[in-house]
Amino acid sequence: MTPDPAPAPPPPPSPGAAPLLSVRNLVKEFPIRSSGLIRKQVGVVQAVSDISFDITAGETLGLVGESGCGKSTTSRAVLQLQPATSGRVTFNGVELTTAGKSTLRRLRRDMQLVFQDPFASLDPRITVNEIIAEPLRIHGLYGDKGGGQKKVRDLMATVGLKPEHGNRYPHEFSGGQRQRIGIARALALRPKLLVLDEPVSALDVSIQAGVINLLEELQDELGLAYLFVAHDLSVVRHIADRVAVMYLGKIVEIGPRDDLFDRPQHPYTQALISAIPIPDPRRERSRERILLQGDVPSPANPPSGCRFRTRCPKFLTLTADQQQRCINEEPLLIGRGPGGMATSEDAAHKAACHYAETLDVL
Amino acid sequence: MSTEYGHAATGGGRNPGGAVLSVRDLTVTFPSDDGPVKAVRGVSYDLRSGEVLGIVGESGSGKSVTSMAVMGLLPKTARITGSVEFRGQELLGLSEKEMTSVRGKKIAMIFQDPMTSLNPVYKIGWQLSEAVLAHHDVSKEVARKRALELLEIVGIPSPDKRIDQYPHEFSGGMRQRVVIAIAMANDPDVIIADEPTTALDVTVQAQVLEALRAAQHETGAAMVLITHDLGVVAGQADRVLVMYAGKPVEIGPIDGIYYQPRMPYTVGLLGSLPRLDQRTQEKLTPIPGTPPSVVNLPPGCPFAPRCPLRTEICLEREPALLPVLGAEHEAACHHSDQLVNHERAMEIFSTDPNAVPGAGPQDGGPGAEQGVGESGEQSAGPSPAPSAEQGTVQDPASPAPGPGPQPEQGSGPAPGTGPNRDQNPGTDAGRDPGQDPQSGAAQ
């Protein structure tokens, strides 16, 4: 991806440029075991069920969905922290799912992870200097003492921390500052892709804004690509170039940010967006909410056909024949025209609904 | 929408216009090894019949402790002063027995985590009936019928089946709706909801907020809605109280607070929110620094170290809550007049970290949180009391010497870092208990 010289403007998701990360038909299953001594496997949960997406260099893909939809599992399977059950993950042209340990270790330099909880993800027993130096040492890049220390100091300055505080321990920093330490550690190896798993959801709003701004600035400066996993759609609208919405292990809609938020096509995306409160009392009073009935079904036994049909407000308005299609036939994630007609598989904005229809819910 | 319910309730003939709950100069102090933790430092508000008052603030601002004090739920070690009147009856100082007759019947509370409010070994129906029977002399059959009704109101599907299930068979959102049903059971005059939707997914949050509205509509109760989510408040509340470091810094009608804020903290809070409905990629305006520790607060305005408008007086005198836009809208700021026509965060807060007062420009880092942040961190951190105090006082003062204090001054805290660090192992143990009451109670 190095030949791509201008990562700063939000790159169009053109199929022409080879993507930095390419995920195809990714499936991640977890066994369900019986209780008792033998713990025989009695079933399987498909946490991630046949999903595909691309991320180009310098781009941010927001992956959103409610708890249990498989978004965090996806991020871990992409990094091969949990081996995928099937499917392909190609990073920079190299297939990761079949790569050996040493290849993976080398490639991990280029893809790093920032965790949600800044209190649990930093070793409380070592100083911030050591936390940030650790990846450098592991990959043999720390160099001599002076060189390594300079690298660490530079990294701390990059994320807006005072390098003099490098000798302090994590507990001496506030939540926002700890998250900056986590980001500095992830940046240490100059990665091309950062996987951010709910990076700001543990922070108070006034602190969260600073970390979001930092992430944006780093992307502009370093040309990083982000896989930004979050449940907060307001944050994702702010930071992402493209957004993928997950429900029960599947991507139900994916598209350029403004397309997706202003013209959502899938009934789940519409309900999700309409449920988010906007900090604007006048707008809130005039908004109509799409209230979903019931709860997310168990991923161990997902509904046939379209997985959302059991809660779908659109489903209730369909004729019996149309409903039958939702029950029998799983909708494909493809470009959709009026009435949900399939248009093109290469469309930028795709929805997995037989009867997809644009609806302005903001 | 919320106002509609407000009127509906006052129309219900419950003492229209009058205050149901009146809190005056409420303070709550917890003892700790680091000195007294002043979690609440003087809160006053009137909750009018049928209205929804939103209390917003970040973690540790004292919004939850305030309500726990109102309900008489704080541990005995807490020192509470001031007055809490429910329809003229003083609640502070009531015996546990007297308080029990108020709780549930007159004032009901809904907590963040529904699992801690429900008993896992009893069926939902039993728990609902118990709440009804606690304050009413009716038969078990009548209580069960009422329980069914309540489940219906909060939107539990097929309540006749659900009533005989246990809490673990319910999802998080449904549990919270059961808790709301229990809160409604005795037709209370006041419902206090403490972060009722914080742990929930957005689509579930929408269901629970709907249930809360239904509950309020049904009972005509006034509601205190405590949350950190300014979006939730925008859609629910009639009036808003903004808390910072244990004190209200602004209170007023919802539109006034959102469109004409008169306290820099409120402005900053609104400016730091990413907006779902905004296409333009404006930069967010974070508030520099971190909230102060409420142990050994320095004199002056507690927001001063983070405030772009601060002057000498802000560091000396804590501003009182004074009317700014009519008698209804009050703000605690020496410079609230400067905010007239500057209601957008970016006009007063700088997004450029180098321009942040107190930030060492030499670091050039993109983090606006940094410079002043260090002072906040120090005071919140493990340093023993005096140095914490100095840390916060010095830092804001540093712009006074002018643009001079660059690299070396910037490391001004750094010489302090050495000894500070050495003291840490010692103060570490002392710090945790110090923070516990604060953080624990804040939830």
For residues B259 and B418, give the distance between their C-alpha atoms in angstroms, rounded to a whole number.
Answer: 46
A205/B contact by beta carbon, under 8 A: yes
For residues A287 and A278, give the distance between their C-alpha atoms in angstroms, rounded to a whole number.
Answer: 9
pLDDT for the residue numbered A147: 87
Of B229, B367, B368, the CB nearest to A161: B367
Task: Report chain A residues whose CB lies below 8 A from the CB of B2.
Answer: 285
Q: What share of chain B is helix, strand, coil (3-state, %, to 5)?
A: 45, 15, 40
Q: Do A206 and B351 touch (CB under 8 A)?
A: no
pLDDT for the residue numbered A298: 86
pLDDT for the residue numbered B17: 52
B25 membership: H or E segment, kind and range: strand B19-30
pLDDT for the residue numbered B442: 37
Q: How many residues does chain A have?
A: 362
Q: Do B274 and A282 touch (CB under 8 A)?
A: no
A119/B contact by beta carbon, under 8 A: no
For residues A303 and A355, give the distance between their C-alpha atoms in angstroms, rounded to a whole number.
Answer: 18
pLDDT for the residue numbered B25: 95
Q: What is the mean pLDDT of chain A?
A: 89
From edge to edge, which strands make up the β-sheet containing B247-253? B107-110, B190-194, B222-227, B52-56, B239-244, B247-253, B329-331, B322-325
Which of A202-211, A271-280, B373-382 has the highest average model confidence (pLDDT)? A271-280
Q: In the block, which residue shows the tokens 């602004």?
A: B250
pLDDT for the residue numbered A54: 95
CB neighbours of residue B137 within 10 Å: 6
Quick one: pLDDT band at residue B436, thresholds 50, 70, 90?
A: very low
Of A271, A273, A280, the CB nearest to B258: A280
pLDDT at B314 over 60: yes
Q: Are B135 and B174 in contact (CB under 8 A)?
A: no
Rg (CA), chain A: 22
Task: Report DSSP state, residue B283.
Answer: P
Per-residue pLDDT averaged across A14-35, rounded? 84
pLDDT for the residue numbered B352: 57
Beta-strand relationship, B322-325 and B247-253: unpaired
| CA dist B91 → A22, B83, B100 (Å) | 63, 8, 11
For B419, residues 6+ apart whose C-beta sits below 8 A from its C-beta are none
Q: Between B256 and B297, where is the model more confident? A: B256
pLDDT at A126 over 90: yes
Percent of chain A with pLDDT over 90: 66
Percent of chain A with pLDDT over 70: 95
Of B206, B270, B410, the CB nearest to A291: B206
Q: Between B252 and A18, where is the model more confident? A: B252
The secondary structure of B200-229, three-state, reads: CCHHHHHHHHHHHHHHHHHHCCEEEEEECC
pLDDT for the residue numbered A321: 94
Cα A295 from chain centroid (whole Å) = 23
Task: Report DSSP state, residue B170.
Answer: S
pLDDT at A307 over 70: yes
pLDDT for the residue numbered B89: 92
Contacts 24+ apart (CB under 8 A), B401-406: B405/B360, B406/B360, B406/B361, B406/B362
| Nearest-CA distance A210 → chain B (Å) | 5
Per DSSP, which regions of B276-426 are E strands?
Answer: 322-325, 329-331
For residue range B294-313, what is the model confidence (pLDDT) as tens digits? 887 888 999 999 999 999 99
Per-residue pLDDT averaged across A25-52, rounded? 89
For A273, residues 6+ apart whose C-beta sits below 8 A from its C-beta are A233, A261, A264, A361, A362, B276
For residues B416 and B387, give the distance between their C-alpha atoms in angstroms, rounded to a whole number.
Answer: 9
Mutate to test the interface with B, among A179, A205, A238 (most CBs of B within 10 A): A205
pLDDT for the residue numbered A362: 80
A125/B contact by beta carbon, under 8 A: no
The secondary structure of chain A, three-state, reads: CCCCCCCCCCCCCCCCCCCCEEEEEEEEEEEEECCCCCCCEEEEEEEEEEEEEEECCCCEEEEECCCCCCHHHHHHHHCCCCCCCEEEEEECCEECCCCCHHHHHHHHCCEEEECCCCCCCCCCCCCHHHHHHHHHHHCCCCCCHHHHHHHHHHHHHHCCCCHHHHHCCHHHCCHHHHHHHHHHHHHCCCCCEEEEECCCCCCCHHHHHHHHHHHHHHHHHHCCEEEEEECCHHHHHHHCCEEEEEECCEEEEEEEHHHHHHCCCCHHHHHHHHHCCCCCHHHHHHCCCCCCCCCCCCCCCCCCCCCCCCCCCCHHHCCHHHHHHHHHCCCCCEEECHHHCECCCCCCCEECCCCCCCCCCC
pLDDT at B426 over 80: no
pLDDT at B428 over 70: no
Task: Report chain B residues whose CB lies below 8 A from the CB of A276.
Answer: 202, 231, 276
Q: In the block, which residue shows the tokens 């320095």?
A: B298
pTM greater than 0.90 (yes/no): no
pLDDT at A341 over 90: no
| Nearest-CA distance B387 → chain A (Å) | 14
| Nearest-CA distance B380 → chain A (Å) | 8
For residue range B61-119, what is the model confidence (pLDDT) as tens digits? 999 999 999 999 999 999 999 999 999 999 998 999 999 889 888 999 998 888 888 99
Bridge partners of residue A342, in order along the sequence: A336
pLDDT at A36 over 90: no
CB neighbours of residue B208 within 10 Å: 25
Task: Report chain A residues whose CB lies below 8 A from the CB of B7.
Answer: none
Cα A96 from chain centroid (whole Å) = 18
From edge to edge, which strands make up the β-sheet containing A86-91? A41-55, A21-33, A86-91, A94-95
pLDDT at A176 over 80: yes
Percent of chain B with pLDDT over 70: 75
Of B231, B373, B381, the CB nearest to A279: B231
Quick one: pLDDT band at residue B378, thresholds 50, 70, 90?
A: very low
Per-residue pLDDT averaged across B48-59, rounded? 92
Burial of A325: CB neighbours in 10 Å, binned 0-12, 13-18, 19+: middle
